[in-house]
């Protein structure tokens, strides 16, 4: 029988819910990234700025979801399996690096007018895509160690 949280909620069930929320946020981010990249060549117009702002919001939601749904769960001693904690500890520095890159992208494009940065957007999206791919690999290793489904 699985360990129980107060109120009788199975710990494994709770972790599964958190992983599903993370994968859902990640899927939405990847979908919007693909839609945004598909708008090339980029033009500094209101439609593009709206698309970019929506993407930035979703990107930050995904980044926060990874933190709260996965690493916060582990850090709060909700995970007791040594192997899971070891792989999470090993990969956490890479996750932090990707978070820093994601935040820099967001800071650059969240509130800036595209008039000043549209020429860099294709390159920045490409770099961001590589960053997200690296992050997903790390997340999937942790998810796999937890016994969840690693999908994207």
User: What CATH topology corresponds to 13-146?
Assistant: 1.20.120
Return d(Cα 37, Cα 41) in angstroms, integer. Answer: 9
What tens digit of pLDDT does each residue of 74-103 get? 777 677 788 888 888 899 899 989 999 999
For residue 90, give the DSSP letter.
Answer: H
Residue 12, pLDDT score? 61
Which residues is 4 bridged to in the sheet? Answer: 10
Residue 53, pLDDT score? 93
User: To which H or E segment does residue 42 belong?
Assistant: none
What tens digit of pLDDT does each residue of 107-125 get? 999 877 788 789 999 999 9
Residue 133, pLDDT score? 97
What DSSP string runs through 55-108? Answer: HHHHHHHHHHHIIIIIIHHIIIII---HHHHHHHHHHHHHHHHHHHHHHHHHHH
- Where does the pLDDT of residue 135 fall: very low under 50, low under 70, confident under 90, or very high at 90 and above? very high
Q: Is the pLDDT of residue 144 over 60?
A: yes
Q: Global pTM? A: 0.82
What tens digit of pLDDT does each residue of 19-76 get? 888 889 999 999 999 999 999 999 999 999 999 999 999 999 999 988 777 777 777 7
């Amino acid at each position: 029988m699985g360990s129980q949280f107060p109120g009788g909620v199975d710990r494994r069930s709770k972790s599964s819910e958190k992983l599903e929320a993370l994968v859902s946020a990640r899927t939405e981010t990847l979908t919007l990234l693909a839609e945004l990249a598909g708008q090339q060549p980029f033009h500094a117009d209101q439609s593009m700025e709206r698309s970019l702002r929506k993407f930035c919001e979703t990107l930050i939601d995904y980044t926060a979801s990874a933190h709260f749904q996965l690493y916060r769960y582990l850090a709060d001693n909700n995970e007791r399996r040594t192997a899971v904690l070891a792989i999470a500890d090993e990969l956490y520095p890479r996750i932090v690096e990707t978070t820093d890159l994601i935040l820099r992208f967001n800071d650059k494009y969240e509130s800036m007018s595209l008039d000043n940065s549209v020429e860099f957007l294709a390159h920045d999206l490409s770099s961001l895509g590589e960053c997200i791919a690296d992050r997903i690999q790390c997340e999937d290793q942790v998810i796999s160690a937890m016994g969840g489904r690693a999908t994207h």
